[in-house]
């Protein structure tokens, strides 16, 4: 707009003044490294995030804060696709002092803009906001205030111990989720100063970030904190009835894990464990073959396993946008032979066992079972959520998608887990892959859809240039409408296979 001077670079928060910098597009201001809580060090280790202290003068927010303690994932790019794609800097500052957020906001003085709060992924073990695909500038160009949140990971974010429970029964676990909640509450209290509308907040995340969104949805204390949610590759339901991925533990199980960890650290008390330096704790965590640190059902933040939100309506009910990439998280029955498949069918499906077995070549082999049973766990979670909504009378808009674009590169990667991040953030130009015009067009359309949903809870509307986007219908278990992002956005009515119908019927019988 002619005559407008883009000057908003300085903002007053509840803790003090912050100064940002022009983004690559000077019409956007970026504020990097704003503290939203006290440092989680010393007595604050394994404790809920504490209020952020005020600061004097002006905080120059030009650089990202340190990333959370974690394994260094910058490996061999010839062998590791994620080292090729994102984990490209082995020298990032890393610290237990990691509770910082970043904001991209239009600088023209607009008010009441919608707000998008983003939780990164990485299995709750690794990840950070500095990854280049998470640049919020392109979304902010669409009149949105974008916030990316740092939070504690692995043993720092998800360790439990009886001493911690005794000390803080009101917050004994899930510190990483509490960090996200604390940051989102900070946003609600402060975002108006950046031009955002505190009553129009969308939370979103991918992979473990999507799992984090699920966790926030299940916490009823978040009622009114956000108005809608986006879950990308972060909701799972194994159609064959088994647990999937980072299955939440009970608090008792998590506390026993913590006790074993303290023994491995050579400490006997919480005080001694807090006195250890962060690197010693992290290194021991990486040495110990106990698997991942994840959610504990503590009865406080987590009243039930958050991955069960799909069949539990006791959650924050709001519009959802949810989906997956086409080459990720397939599920299979736990069988490799004819005998194992038959035994599983009888145990899992009882009188319906023969119907289930009819979907398979007989006698079954490891190869035929894998070929004939590969089903998308994320799609099944979406289908289940829609079925539960209908069965329990929940009127909740649900928009589903499948990302199925052709991804170029010498490694012929397919639509691998997380590749869609480049597209909806519209940050393809930062990637090494030889993307073409069709990829940039697709990314622009995806960013437009996401922006529309963030603004209104409905992805439909016009694109950045004012042209109408192809209609994206809501998903239900009777009308399986979803958007497929291939060469271009393609509305699709999914057709269930006979096996999918059978498994879905069995699921609904148990609700």
- Based on the number of CB atoms within 10 Å of its own CB, is 284 exposed (0-12), middle (13-18) or buried (19 or more)? middle
Residue 291 has pLDDT above 70, yes or no: no
Q: What is the CA radius of gyration of the chain?
A: 23
The CA distance from 222 to 456, in Å, is 19
DSSP letters for 152-169: --HHHHH---HHHHHH-T
CB neighbours (10 Å) of residue 83?
A: 16
Residue 211 has pLDDT above 90, yes or no: yes
Residues composing the chain: 511
Q: Taking residues 464-487, what's their average pLDDT?
A: 95
Q: How far is CA 47 from CA 41, 173, 255, in A?
A: 9, 8, 15
Would you call 409 helix, strand, or coil by DSSP?
coil
The CA distance from 21 to 19, in Å, is 7
Beta carbons of 147 and 231 less than 8 angstroms apart: no
pLDDT tier at 1, thresholds 50, 70, 90:
very low
CB neighbours (10 Å) of residue 441?
A: 13
**Predicted confidence (pLDDT) per residue in 411-426, tens digit:** 999 999 999 999 999 9
Secondary structure element (H or E) that encloses residue 18, with its range: strand 16-19
pLDDT tier at 292, thresholds 50, 70, 90:
confident
Q: What is the pLDDT of residue 290?
A: 63
- Based on the number of CB atoms within 10 Å of its own CB, is 16 exposed (0-12), middle (13-18) or buried (19 or more)? middle
Residue 246 has pLDDT above 60, yes or no: no
**Predicted confidence (pLDDT) per residue in 308-322, tens digit:** 999 889 999 999 999
Question: Which residues are the active-site residues?
Answer: 207
Q: What is the pLDDT of residue 8?
A: 85
% pLDDT > 70, the chain: 97
Model's pTM, two decimal places? 0.95
Domain boundaries, the chain: 35-51+68-93+112-332+374-509, 338-370
**Which token pair is 429?**
């130009």
Strands 330-331, 375-376: pairing is antiparallel
Residue 125 has pLDDT above 60, yes or no: yes
Residue 5 has pLDDT above 60, yes or no: no
Helices (DSSP H) in 222-333: which residue ranges?
A: 251-265, 270-275, 278-287
Q: Taking residues 364-371, what's their average pLDDT?
A: 94
Among 85-94, 182-191, 403-412, 469-478, where is mean pLDDT lowest?
A: 85-94
Beta carbons of 160 and 113 less than 8 angstroms apart: no
% pLDDT > 90, the chain: 87
Q: What is the pLDDT of residue 75?
A: 74
DSSP state at residue 67: B
The CA distance from 279 to 80, in Å, is 24
pLDDT tier at 77, thresholds 50, 70, 90:
confident
Is the domain spanning 35-51+68-93+112-332+374-509 CATH 3.40.640.10? The answer is no
Q: What is the pLDDT of residue 474?
A: 97
Would you call 222 helix, strand, or coil by DSSP?
helix
Q: What is the pLDDT of residue 88?
A: 85
Residue 3 has pLDDT above 80, yes or no: no
**Predicted confidence (pLDDT) per residue in 134-150, tens digit:** 999 999 999 999 999 99
The CA distance from 89 to 232, in Å, is 25
483-505 core/surface letters (b: 16 or more CB in 10 A; e: else):
bbbbeebeebebeeeebbebbbe
Contact partners, residue 350, CB within 8 Å, separation at least 6: none
The CA distance from 52 to 33, in Å, is 13
Residue 479 has phi, psi (to 5 degrees) of: -120, 100
Q: What is the pLDDT of residue 243?
A: 57
Residue 112 has pLDDT above 90, yes or no: yes
Beta carbons of 110 and 6 less than 8 angstroms apart: no
Residue 4 has pLDDT above 80, yes or no: no
Residue 76 has pLDDT above 60, yes or no: yes
């Amino acid at each position: 707009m002619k005559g407008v001077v883009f000057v908003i670079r300085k903002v007053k928060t509840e803790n003090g003044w912050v100064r940002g910098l022009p983004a690559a597009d000077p019409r956007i201001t970026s504020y990097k490294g704003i503290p939203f809580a006290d440092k989680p060090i010393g007595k604050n280790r394994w404790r809920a995030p504490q209020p952020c202290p005020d600061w004097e003068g002006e905080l120059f927010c030009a650089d990202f804060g340190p990333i959370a303690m974690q394994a260094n994932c910058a490996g061999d790019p010839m062998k590791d696709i994620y080292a090729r794609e994102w984990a490209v800097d082995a020298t990032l500052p890393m610290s237990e002092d990691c509770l910082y957020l970043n904001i991209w906001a239009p600088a023209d003085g607009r008010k009441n803009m919608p707000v998008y709060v983003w939780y990164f992924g990485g299995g709750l073990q690794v990840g950070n906001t500095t990854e280049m695909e998470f640049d919020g500038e392109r979304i902010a160009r669409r009149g949105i205030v974008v916030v990316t949140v740092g939070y504690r990971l692995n043993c720092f974010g998800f360790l439990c111990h009886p001493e911690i429970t005794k000390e803080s029964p009101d917050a004994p676990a899930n510190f990483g989720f509490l960090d996200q909640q604390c940051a989102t509450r900070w946003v609600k209290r402060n975002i108006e100063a950046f031009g955002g509308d505190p009553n129009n907040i969308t939370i979103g995340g991918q992979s473990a970030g999507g799992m984090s969104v699920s966790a926030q949805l299940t916490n009823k204390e978040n009622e009114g904190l956000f108005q809608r949610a986006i879950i990308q590759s972060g909701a799972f339901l194994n159609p064959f009835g088994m647990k999937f991925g980072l299955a939440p533990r009970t608090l008792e199980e998590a506390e026993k894990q913590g006790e074993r960890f303290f023994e491995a650290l050579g400490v006997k008390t919480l005080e001694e464990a807090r006195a250890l330096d962060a690197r010693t704790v992290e290194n021991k965590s990486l040495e110990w073959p106990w698997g991942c640190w994840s959610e504990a059902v503590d009865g406080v933040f987590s009243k039930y396993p958050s991955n069960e939100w799909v069949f539990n309506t006791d959650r924050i009910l709001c519009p959802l946008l949810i989906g997956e990439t086409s080459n990720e998280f397939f599920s299979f029955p736990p069988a490799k032979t004819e005998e194992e498949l038959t035994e599983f069918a009888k145990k899992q499906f009882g009188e319906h066992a023969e119907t289930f077995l009819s979907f398979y070549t007989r006698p079954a082999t490891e190869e035929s079972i894998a070929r004939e049973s590969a089903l998308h766990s994320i799609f099944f979670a979406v289908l289940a959520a829609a079925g539960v909504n209908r069965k329990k009378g929940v009127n909740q808009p649900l928009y589903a998608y499948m990302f199925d674009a052709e991804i170029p590169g010498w490694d012929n990667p397919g639509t691998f887990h997380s590749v869609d991040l480049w597209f909806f953030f519209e940050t393809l130009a930062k990637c090494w892959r030889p993307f073409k015009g069709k990829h940039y067009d697709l990314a622009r359309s995806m960013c437009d859809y996401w922006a529309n949903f963030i603004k209104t809870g409905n992805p439909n509307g016009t694109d950045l240039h004012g042209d109408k986007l192809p209609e994206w219908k809501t998903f239900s278990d009777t009308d399986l409408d979803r958007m497929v992002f291939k060469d271009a956005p393609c509305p699709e009515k999914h057709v269930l296979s006979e096996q999918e119908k059978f498994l879905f019927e069995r699921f609904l019988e148990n609700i």
